[in-house]
Amino acid sequence: MCSAKTWHASASHPDILLSISAKGRQISLSHRDSDVALRLVRLNEASKLGGMPVALYAHRDHVHLSTPQQWRFIAFDPRYEDLPQQRWLLGIAADHPVACDLNFISEHLIAARAGIGVAAPAVSVTERSSPPR
């Protein structure tokens, strides 16, 4: 999904083709798979531009909110085990069960709001999103 800001930049530079694709695999800049890559994994070929803090979230009425020993977690699909966010979450989860694994971070927030378990979305995702009703 392109934001209004991205669309404006595209209109200002009509010779640039912008193609946004979310993939669960690494692409190679050196093999010209892409000219620019934004990744949520450890970098091998590029310089780090910044960080993305994550935090634990659950619905305010989650049945086990006050008993962390009974938490179940919402994680990424096992194909994303290299994501720092996934490693961090599974480190906290330790021996706790994973209630579900999902591919997209937006799904994690939806599942947490539905009371399925505890998720670790990026703080910026939760700040942009409206509170549960």
In a domain, 30, yes or no: yes
In a domain, 114, yes or no: yes
Rounded to an integer, the average pLDDT of 64-88 is: 88
Whether residues 31 and 73 share a domain: the answer is no
In a domain, 124, yes or no: yes
Tokens of 41: 């994994």
44 against 108, higher pLDDT? 108
What do you get for the CA distance between the two ends of the chain, in Å?
A: 25
Q: How many domains does the chain have?
A: 2
In a domain, 117, yes or no: yes
d(CA 70, CA 67): 6
Rounded to an integer, the average pLDDT of 48-70 is: 84
Which residues contact residue 26 at a Cβ distance below 8 angstroms, ignoring those fewer than 6 apart? 39, 41, 44
Whether residues 43 and 83 share a domain: the answer is no
In a domain, 60, yes or no: no
Q: What is the pLDDT of residues 1-52, one digit of tens each?
A: 444 444 445 566 666 665 556 666 666 767 776 666 666 555 555 566 667 7
Kindly report the average pLDDT of the chain as a whole number.
74
Whether residues 44 and 93 share a domain: the answer is no
Whether residues 44 and 90 share a domain: the answer is no
Radius of gyration in angstroms for the set of CA atoms belonging to the chain, rounded to a whole number = 17
Whether residues 78 and 123 share a domain: the answer is yes
In a domain, 58, yes or no: no
Is the Cβ–Cβ distance between 100 and 108 less than 8 Å?
no
In a domain, 61, yes or no: no
Is the Cβ–Cβ distance between 102 and 111 less than 8 Å?
yes
Whether residues 41 and 74 share a domain: the answer is no
Instruction: Please give the residue range of the domain that contains residue 27.
Output: 1-50
Phi and psi (nearest 5°) for 76? -80, 160
In a domain, 133, yes or no: no
Burial label, 96 (beta-carbon count in 10 A; 0-12, 13-18, 19+): middle
For residue 103, what pLDDT band results from cuts at 50, 70 and 90?
confident
